[in-house]
Amino acid sequence: MKVLLFGATGMVGMGVLRECLLDPRVERVVAIGRASTGLIHAKLGEIVLPDLSDLSSIEGELTGFDACFFCLGVSAAGMSEADYRRITKDLTLSVAKTVLRLCPEITFIYVSGASTDSTEKGRAMWARVKGETENALLAMPFKAKYMFRPGIIRPLHGIRSKTKVYRIAYAVLTPLYPILKLVAPQLLTNTEAVGRAMIAVAANGTDKLHLENDDINRLAALPQAA
């Protein structure tokens, strides 16, 4: 399959890109973002675009894809609701509408987060906005659409978060991973599992629209030929 990947320079996106380049089911992956990944690979194409809210200049390069993995995201810490909604919801839906128009048979996978509020009425601002975004995407007529809701994501293979507070949190959690995996495995996943699960869902589908850590880890463990 041919994959569009948004957010390939973020922690989750880097993990997803790594798995796309390794997986024989992915024939081609085109990373679109505000910065280059810095990678060179026979399967990888890159489009660097300063303003992702306007894809009009590259529409000719956005056709013929089977899946779109949308991994762009920001932390809500210190952001106003208006700014967070502009980046999290408005940008996502702008990209999704363009991708759907150009590739009406595409599968769209959105990286949301654990505890996202599908009711859009909760007290947590970020969870409401994520819920609004998910609901809007689910209402769009993609061939298929899936909302990934990972919880604690362990970065593997040298991948690091660009967000300082997350890097500190991961450093603190690292010694605790073996204990957490033993007593509360449902809280944990990793960058490799997220990427493998996305590819598995794009290739074969699944019966759930909202995928939590347990679902992500289960799908990631499936053989590539499944």
What residues make up the domain containing 178? 2-220
CATH code assigned at 136: 3.40.50.720
Beta strands in 72-162 (DSSP E): 107-111, 144-148, 152-154
In a domain, 225, yes or no: no
pLDDT digits 0-9 by tens, 127-155? 999 999 999 999 999 999 999 999 989 88
Asked if 3 and 16 touch (Cβ cutoff 8 Å), the reply is no
Q: Model's pTM, two decimal places?
A: 0.91
Asked if 94 and 85 touch (Cβ cutoff 8 Å), the reply is no
Q: Please give the pLDDT value at position 165.
A: 58
Q: Which amino acid is at 218?
A: R
Round to whole Å and give the CA distance between 158 and 162.
Answer: 13
In a domain, 226, yes or no: no
In a domain, 49, yes or no: yes
Q: How confident is the model at residue 37 (pLDDT cuts 50, 70, 90)?
A: very high
The total number of structural domains that make up the chain: 1
In a domain, 60, yes or no: yes
In a domain, 157, yes or no: yes
What is the distance between the terminal CA atoms of the chain, rounded to a whole angstrom? Answer: 14
Q: Name the average pLDDT for the chain.
A: 92
Q: Identify the DSSP state of 55.
A: -
